[in-house]
Structure 1
Amino acid sequence: MPLQLGPTFFSALTEAGRPLAGMWVCSGSPLVAEICAGSGLDWVLIDAEHSPNGLESILAQLHAVSGYPVQAMVRPPVNDTVVIKQYLDLGVQNLLIPMVNSAFEAASAVAAVRYPPHGVRGVGSALARASRWNRVPDYLASASESISLTVQIESEAAASAVEEILAVDGVDGIFLGPSDLAASMGLLGQQENPLVRAVVEHCLEAAKAAGKPAGVNAFNESTARAYLDAGASFVLVGADVAVLARASEGFASTFIPVSETADRESY
């Protein structure tokens, strides 16, 4: 039965004609991923860098969100050829590669998502969900068209090299991580610091000049809107675990007397 893969994140971004808003999915739960996928947001980011996700749980979450009109991007824990190969074979079409600090590292990520002679991706499509077990016609020849690659700019070194990173053929876009950027600038926990925001905005301007989309992580609404006004094409505005943590704390503050919560030793 011939099958056709869905559009990539950047194809959807172009078709939308507006910035895309999404949220992190960090719980490792397919059920939670499905709830988020049906929220009305444009995209979800399934995270495996700072979240308890392995190959099996990522696959389950891809299944869970596949029935919804939402783009799924996945962040592996590291820019590694073998890890990226496994994610692609699972059927991940949109990758966010963390901690890319140079054009060389960006080019390595590009090579990892392309088959020879244009890259180093291992050929196992007949065994993999990526090609739907060879039910996608001519998958080997067209695979690169079904994959989008975003690299994460989250250090001073990366920000200094952002123009060179953007110039790498095969890098579809960049994503700014203000938290790690702030840490690399000696401003740990100060992602709202004007110095950090200035670097983020510089990278947004560089992406615009290069003709490539740029996204940013911003849980603060006013900050997110400011970055959108500065040219961000896509944003992450929350996370499943953060929503649950803050909402459950709200229940506690509403219904549990302050005198009792102050005596609890577990938090």
Structure 2
Amino acid sequence: MELPPNLFKAAVARGGPQYGIWAGFGTGYAAELCATAGYDWMVIDGEHAPNTVPSILAQLQAVAPYTTAPVVRAVNDDPALIKQLLDVGAQTLMVPMVETAEQARALVRAMRYSPHGMRGVGGALVRASRWGDVVDYMARAHEELCLIVQVETQLGVENVEAIAAVEGVDAVFVGPMDLSAALGFPGEPNHPDVQRHIEHAIQATLAAGKACGILAPLEEDARRYAALGCHFIAVALDIILLRQAAVDTLARYRSDTSSTEPSAGY
């Protein structure tokens, strides 16, 4: 069979903002429900959600029939974990807390087979190669892989030009909440100093010819980032959507419960 196409990579290359949802429940059932809503892409979160490699695999399988393209966020930059995530079929990886070009280059090597990288060979044991059925998988796998590095610290923003310039880095994703904490304004992603750093990261990424993404659950923020040129924007988080709807529904019937205000981040 042919190498499965990376729908996320193709959509981002076409340009225009792609709107995504964060999947934080850690189950295939919830991920599939979100995929039916028609978002362009979905983050299966391995950093802050209660996920393991098997639960991420279950979610990849659950959303496979739908047009929503899965993006798997790893918990860190461990090449052994990256190997496992690629082997179970993740084609787009998001890696948090990338702060230097050297770190970015190491991630590119972790995603590629020798002689261009250090990814271990699973051969016919892995879902990514469809258990050996994909023709020339080892030679062509990189064509449909997509690496998103997260810039979410002051050092990361200082080095964003060099990070974005690394060959094999497909996109930079700005993390407003972590960046706000790193800059001394925790929970204030719209603080002017945080916004200045965010805009710099976006502009530097675009200047390098790479795609830029960001998390923006508030509509005003999402539209501003789209106007700044962001290619992909996460506008919803499944857990927050459920909690907000649950609280708001109860508030309609009980005077001791107040409706919630939408969150600007997690």
| Band of TM-score, shorter chain | over 0.9
| Contact 1:3 1:132 (C-alpha < 8 Å) held by counterparts | no
Alpha-carbon distance, 1:4 to partner = 3.5
- Give 4+ residue runs of structure 1 displaced > 2 Å after superposition: none
Instruction: Give the letter for the 2:73 counterpart.
Output: R
2:234 is aligned to: 236
1:212 is aligned to: 210
Identity of aligned residues (%): 43
2:135 is aligned to: 137
CA distance in structure 2 between the partners assigned to 1:173 and 1:195 by the alignment: 23
| Contact 2:101 2:166 (C-alpha < 8 Å) held by counterparts | yes
2:173 is aligned to: 175
Q: 1:19 aligns with which of 2, 17, 40?
A: 17
Q: 1:203 aligns with which of 186, 201, 204?
A: 201
CA distance in structure 2 between the partners assigned to 1:61 and 1:113 by the alignment: 21
1:5 is aligned to: 4
Gaps of 5+ in 1: 260-267
1:158 is aligned to: 156
CA distance in structure 2 between the partners assigned to 1:72 and 1:78 by the alignment: 18
Instruction: Give the letter for the 2:212 counterpart.
Output: A
1:188 is aligned to: 186
Instruction: Give the letter for the 1:11 counterpart.
Output: A
Q: 3-state DSSP class of the match of 1:204?
A: helix
| Contact 2:3 2:141 (C-alpha < 8 Å) held by counterparts | no
Q: 1:99 aligns with which of 97, 100, 106?
A: 97
Instruction: Give the letter for the 1:217 counterpart.
Output: L
Q: 1:64 aligns with which of 62, 66, 74?
A: 62
Instruction: Give the letter for the 2:164 counterpart.
Output: L
Alpha-carbon distance, 1:8 to partner = 4.4
Alpha-carbon distance, 1:219 to partner = 1.0
1:124 is aligned to: 122
Instruction: Give the letter for the 1:110 counterpart.
Output: V
CA distance in structure 2 between the partners assigned to 1:158 and 1:224 by the alignment: 22
Alpha-carbon distance, 1:146 to partner = 1.6
CA distance in structure 2 between the partners assigned to 1:158 and 1:225 by the alignment: 24
Q: 3-state DSSP class of the match of 1:21?
A: strand
Q: 3-state DSSP class of the match of 1:245?
A: helix
Instruction: Give the letter for the 1:9 counterpart.
Output: F
Indicate the structure (1 or 2) with the bigger Cα radius of gyration.
1
2:263 is aligned to: none
CA distance in structure 2 between the partners assigned to 1:10 and 1:28 by the alignment: 23
CA distance in structure 1 between the partners assigned to 2:219 and 2:51 by the alignment: 28
1:262 is aligned to: none
What value does the CA root-mean-square deviation take over the aligned residues? 1.1
Number of aligned positions between the proteins = 257
Using the size of structure 2 for normalisation, the TM-score is 0.94
| Contact 1:65 1:72 (C-alpha < 8 Å) held by counterparts | yes
CA distance in structure 1 between the partners assigned to 2:31 and 2:12 by the alignment: 21
| Contact 1:8 1:147 (C-alpha < 8 Å) held by counterparts | no
CA distance in structure 2 between the partners assigned to 1:21 and 1:125 by the alignment: 34
Using the size of structure 1 for normalisation, the TM-score is 0.94
